[in-house]
Amino acid sequence: MARGRANRTQAQLTIMEPPTKVGAKPGGTLARVKLQFNPSTLSMSKTTEWRRTPSRMAGQSALPEFVGSGPRSLSLEVFLDATAKHDNSVEKAVQQIMIALVPTKASLARKTPASPWVRFEWGTSKTTSFDGVLSNFSVNYSLFDVDGKPLRATCSLSIEEASVDPAGQNPTSGSREARRTHRVVAGDSLPLLAWREYGDATAWRVIAEANGVDDPMVLVPGTELIVPSTEDETPEEER
């Protein structure tokens, strides 16, 4: 693990309150963990999802239909060392990172438990800096003081992107209010479609009502569905 020099930009993890609703930005900062040493390597990946509708009459494979773009995933290792001071800074840093793995008090109070969002920041880097959630965390303690206090540790983190565009946004218009259409492919269901569009599988009724669908789990491939913004619907108690 390469150690950062004093004149270099110091990498950090920002831990934030999760959004209060789908499509919103994260809330206030809960903690900033300044990394003692900058990472020597960063690993980032991103996927796209395609589906094919098999045809018995086709001589070749069916054309793929683009379903959506997957989230970025960033993996890095954080090296911690307290051998110079023999203090509890190693465990303190680990505890700070671990708050991103449990629901926040504010989300529990709203009865919508959610863990904090995190952002890795390092100078002017853009591709590796995004709002996400800590999907995996492990720590390997490698040196201890005479009283058993950890003095060295290597933490492995995986951050999965949590937000790209506002939920329900039509990429051609940039407006959240705009409706779009979706052509059903094999394996589709309204809860799955609602999760892709709104980030909330329970919002399938919005699509069902817009299309007169009775069974959310049974959709005919090839059918074109209207996908409205959730804001197009007015709650029943307000009607």
Q: Which residue has the higher pLDDT, 59 or 162?
A: 162
Q: Is the domain of 46 the same as that of 144? A: yes
Q: Is the domain of 56 the same as that of 133? A: yes
With beta carbons less than 8 A apart as the criterion, state whether 197 and 167 touch. yes
Looking at 14-23, 67-76, 154-163, 186-195, which range is the least confident one?
186-195
Residues 6 or more apart whose CB falls under 8 angstroms from that of 198 comprise: 22, 23, 167, 168, 206, 230
- How many structural domains comprise the chain? 2
Task: Round to whole Å and give the CA distance between 195 and 21.
Answer: 14
At residue 58 the predicted structure's pLDDT band, cuts being 50, 70 and 90, is low
Q: Is the domain of 113 the same as that of 213? A: no
Q: Is the domain of 17 the same as that of 81? A: yes
5, part of any domain: no
Average confidence (pLDDT) over 33-44: 94
166, part of any domain: no
CATH code for the domain in which residue 220 is found: 3.10.350.10
Q: Is the pLDDT of residue 188 over 60?
A: yes
Element (H, E) at 210: helix 204-211
Specify the pTM: 0.65
Task: Round to whole Å and give the CA distance between 33 and 96.
Answer: 7
Task: Round to whole Å and give the CA distance between 175 and 185.
Answer: 25
Q: Is the domain of 203 the same as that of 89? A: no
Q: Is the domain of 153 the same as that of 221? A: no
175, part of any domain: no
Task: Round to whole Å and give the CA distance between 30 and 17.
Answer: 7
Q: Which residue has the higher pLDDT, 68 or 130?
A: 130
> What residues make up the domain containing 68?
12-161
77, part of any domain: yes
Q: Is the domain of 122 the same as that of 67? A: yes
Q: Is the domain of 130 the same as that of 203? A: no
Q: Is the domain of 116 the same as that of 76? A: yes
Q: Is the domain of 133 the same as that of 36? A: yes
- What percent of the chain shows pLDDT beyond 90? 45
At residue 229 the predicted structure's pLDDT band, cuts being 50, 70 and 90, is low
Q: Is the domain of 144 the same as that of 187? A: no
Q: Is the domain of 66 the same as that of 105? A: yes
